Structures are given as structure tokens and as C-alpha cells.
Amino acid sequence: MNFRRLRAIARKEFLHVLRDVRSLILALALPLVMLLLFGYALTLDVDRIPAYVYDQDRTPQSRELIDQFRGSRYFQITGAVQDYRPIEQMVDRSKILIGIVVPRNYSRDLLAGKETDVQILLDGSDSNTASIALGYADAIIQSYSAQLRSNAQMRLGGQAMKIPVNTEVRVWYNSDLKSKNYIVPGLIAVSMMIIASLLTSLTIAREWENGTLEQLLSTPVRPMELVLGKLLAYFAIGLLDMLICLFLGVVVFQVPLRGSIPFLFLSSCVFLFGALCTGVLISAATRSQLIAYQLSLLTSFLPAFLLSGFIYSITNMPRIIQVISSIVPARYFIRIVTSVFLKGVGIEVLYGELLILLLYATIVFIGASRKMRQKLA
């Protein structure tokens, strides 16, 4: 490898990037827009659940139960109705998710020490959200029921009933259970994958279509030198994008960064290099901007969103999809980024993921160089 030729190719590509102002602005603005848009709009938190109340009993006891829901941050009582019909209509229009129905003899049975029921009506269209909402409602009712039993025991026996088992919950790494603390680091990985793949694939494909790359390949420059020289410019842009995303994640979204910054930087460089080589490989194989753009989306955007564990848990996927997801590099980088941000672990725990990214980058780089050599032949 001749470093003089490599430096010349890199300088040429830097000048080309600086002249193409629109592509440069797009490369820098796209991850910024993605992070701000998805960081604020995409949330997996289930709270402020809109609910209607149908209180058939209308007693202090029933109002006390409804106050338990009203005082919870997970529910938002948006209306009180006189029959079932408004609940059905609002559920059909997706205006509410849950209806709480207190039966007519609720207070009488409660004061008599009998078992009484509370009806919960749920919109099960989104089964995951409905299950979470049902769990919240059940926890409120069970907690209120235990409080009533304790009060009744005090009235009868003079002392409060002791609960035989007391559960103490301690949440590690994300104590506030905010989904943005997991989503924002994952978005950094997804945006880097998309930007890196699109930049190199479209730029080199454009040179194939214009015929300028064939002229370049006719010079003494070797395919490996050509690939590395072109990657250096876009590697610098990718690192700048990563720094912008890190700044937004830590300062704007206030995601805790507990781990090693040097290790995060190292793994980001390895992942970014592999993603850039993927774009070069796609471009060398297609020679068409349209096909390169479509293949880049197919190989970067969709797997990074759907098969990396960013949105959907891999353990809940069918077995065959789990096997397919094992070849998605974003899966391992997302695991590194989220673990460094939230858990504070480093290479002593994540060396396996880093080695997989190194293997991925090496394979794609060799494939891109060989494909470029075949086009030259």
C-alpha cells in the first residue's frame, strides 16, 4: 500500500465533499433530525392512560377508589359517564383505552366484609399496551384492597394486619424507567448505520454513472487504496455525526453516560468503518444510484430498526428471526452503546460484541476491495 496515493485519494474526496454542500448538510443534519424527532416522538412509556369512569355506586367508598386511579401518574380520568354506551363509543374512536366500572353494591358489600368486584374494560387492539394498562389497574386495586383489609383488621382487633411478605423493588441502571434512556443510545447506532451506508453507496455510484471512477481505476491506484482513501472523508463525517448525537443524548435528552468514553469511541470507529465499507460494497456491485439507494435502505435501515433489538426484543422473536438477527451488526453495536451509557460496563464485558464488529468490518472491507478489483478487471 502506497500512503502517498492513499493521501491523494483522501484529499480528492475531501475536496469533493466540501464542494458538494447539499450532501454535506444532509449528512450532518439527518442524524440531528432523526435523533430529535425520534427522541421526542418515539416512546415506549405507558402512562397518562385516558380512562372513563362509570360509578354506579356513588358513595364515599367508590369515590375513594376512583381517587386512587386519579392520583396515579399512569391514568388520566377524562370523564365520568352514566352508562356503558359512552365508554363503547370512545373506545371505538380510540379516545380512551380503559373504562373503570364500579358496581352498584360496591360500598355495601365492602362495609359488610364481603368480596366485591370492580370491572375493567380495555381496548385490546394493541395487546402490549392493554396488558401493561391492565397490570397498572390491577396493582392499584390490589393495593387499595390491602389497605382496606388492614383498616378493617384495626377496627376489629385493634392492630394493623401485617403483610407476611413485603416486596422491595430496586431498579438498576434506569431507575426512572424512562424509555428515552434506552431509545436515544439506540438511535445513535441506527443513525450512524444509515448515514454511513447511504453516503458511500450514493457517492461512489454517482461516479460510476458519470464515468469518473473508471478513469480513476485506470491509474496506478490499487483498489484497496481507493477504498480506504474514499472512506477517510466519510469516516470523518461519520465521527462528527457521532459526536453531535452524543452531545444531544447527554445534554439535551440527559441520558446518563456511565461507561468508558474511549471504549465507546473505539467501538464506534469499528462499527462506522464496517458500515462505510458496506456502502462501498453495494455501490461497487450495482453501479446505479437508484439501486444502491434501495439496497442501502434494505440492508441498513430496516435491519437496524427491526432486527437489532432497538424497538423489539430479540428474545420474543421467532427462532428463525433470531438467527437472522445474529448477522445484523447494529444489534451488537446497540448492545455496546446502551450498556456503556446505562450500565457503565466496558471491554471486560463487551469484548465479544467488539470482536464481532471487528470481524464484520474486516469481511466487508475485503469484499469491497475485491469487488472493486473485479470491476477494474
pLDDT digit string, tens, across residues 172-210? 887 777 778 888 888 888 888 877 777 777 777 777 777
pLDDT at 375: 53
Q: Rounded to two decimals, what is the model's pTM?
A: 0.76
Q: How many residues does the chain have?
A: 377
How many other CB atoms are found less than 10 A from the CB of residue 37?
Answer: 11
Per the model's pLDDT, the better-predicted residue between 44 and 233 turns out to be 233
Q: Is the pLDDT of residue 236 over 60?
A: yes
For residue 155, pLDDT over 80 is answered with no
Q: How confident is the model at residue 214 (pLDDT cuts 50, 70, 90)?
A: low
Residue 150 or residue 368, greater confidence: 368
Residue 226 has pLDDT above 80, yes or no: no
- Rounded Cα–Cα distance for residues 6 and 230 (Å): 9
Report helix, strand or coil for 54. Answer: strand
Residues 217-236 have a mean pLDDT of 76
> What is the predicted pLDDT for the residue at 342?
87
Of 232-236, 272-276, 333-337, give the lowest mean pLDDT range: 232-236
Q: What is the mean pLDDT of the chain?
A: 81
Looking at per-residue pLDDT, the higher value among 159 and 182 belongs to 182
pLDDT for 354 beyond 90: yes
Q: Which residue has the higher pLDDT, 116 or 375?
A: 116
Instruction: Domain 49-157: give its CATH architecture.
Output: 3-Layer(aba) Sandwich (3.40)
For 260-287, write each residue's pLDDT tens digit: 899 999 999 999 899 888 888 888 787 7
Query: Structural domain boundaries of the chain?
Result: 3-43+178-376, 49-157
Residue 117: pLDDT band with limits 50, 70, 90: confident
Kindly indicate the confidence band of residue 167, based on its pLDDT and cuts at 50, 70 and 90.
Answer: low
DSSP state of 342: I
Give me the pLDDT at residue 346, please: 86
Q: Where is average pLDDT lowest: 1-15, 270-284, 323-337, 361-375?
A: 1-15
- Of the ranges 41-45, 98-102, 186-190, 300-304, the best mean pLDDT one: 98-102
Q: Give the pLDDT score at 52.
A: 93
Which residue has better confidence, 174 or 49? 49
38, pLDDT greater than 80: no
Give the confidence band of 297 by pLDDT, cuts at 50, 70, 90. confident
**SS3 assignment for 278-319:** HHHHHHHHHCCHHHHHHHHHHHHHHHHHHCCCCCCCHHHCCH
Q: How confident is the model at residue 362 (pLDDT cuts 50, 70, 90)?
A: very high
% of the chain surpassing 70 pLDDT: 89
pLDDT of 156 > 70? The answer is no
Amino acid at 245: C
280 contacts 201 by C-beta, under 8 angstroms: yes
Query: What whole-number distance in Å separates Cα of residue 226 and Cα of residue 90?
Result: 62
Please give the distance of CA 201 from its chain centroid, rounded to a whole number: 25
pLDDT of residue 22: 74
- Please say if the pLDDT value at position 53 is more than 90: yes
In 10 A of CB 190, how many CB atoms?
A: 25
Beta-carbon contacts of 137 under 8 Å, excluding residues fewer than 6 positions away, are 69, 75, 98, 100, 120
Predicted confidence band of residue 336 (pLDDT cuts 50, 70, 90): very high
